[in-house]
Structure 1
């Protein structure tokens, strides 16, 4: 089959992120790796693996936080739930040992407009 050599926006063109079936941007990760000067040479597969690892960790943490929210009867995911879920998991606790929720996350708890305040956050309705 002949290759489609059209412009970038053509239907046959897919970004590296889309080809690797990743959600996070591979080109952004490559830019960060090159800008950080972590090594003299950078393999073309390094950003792919790093993005895949970060995407897996994000999905795993989100899954744990959702379970924690359901177990505590909350409908909103808060930084405190992320902290609780990460520290209660033995594998993730070492990774999240030095991370604390930022004080700026407290602004999410301020009720606005038609919202009513509820324990653990704001519930719209």
Structure 2
């Protein structure tokens, strides 16, 4: 009886790499494809770098994480349950110098507008 080894488990599997999304390769949560589509549909530029939607997704993910982190700390400081409300988000953004500058023209729904 001749000994034949199957190639299925060795080198053939190495050639069939599993494709991963750009979001997974960049280790992001926000979708890179959604960012790219938004950039194209918004007509922000005639040409886009391959890295532009990845960078945009990373920046938006960072800003979201930072705002939620600050809101969670504020919820802990206020006592009671740790619930993040639109009012709490608005409070956090308005009390942070850089975030208030970035979001100065943004209106968060369900929050009464403050004095200008």
1:22 equivalent in alignment to 2:28: yes
Q: Match of 1:62? A: 68
C-alpha displacement of 1:3 = 2.7
TM-score by length of 1: 0.73
| Poorly superposed stretches of 4+, deviation over 3 Å | none
C-alpha displacement of 1:29 = 0.5
Taking the TM superposition and a 5 Å limit, the aligned residue runs for 1:42-61 are 42-61=48-67
Q: In structure 2, how many angstroms separate the alpha carbons of the residues matched to 1:80 and 1:61?
A: 13
Q: In structure 2, how many angstroms separate the alpha carbons of the residues matched to 1:94 and 1:3?
A: 50
TM-score by length of 2: 0.78
Q: In structure 2, how many angstroms separate the alpha carbons of the residues matched to 1:52 and 1:69?
A: 26
Q: In structure 1, how many angstroms separate the alpha carbons of the residues matched to 2:64 and 2:54?
A: 15
Q: Match of 1:78? A: 85
Q: Which runs of 5+ in 1 are unaligned?
A: 6-11, 106-125
Structure 1 or 2: larger strand share? Answer: 1
Q: Which runs of 5+ in 2 are unaligned?
A: 1-10, 112-116
Q: How many residues align?
A: 98
RMSD of equivalent CA atoms? 1.6
Single out whichever of 74-83 and 57-66 deviates more from structure 2.
74-83
Q: Match of 1:111? A: none
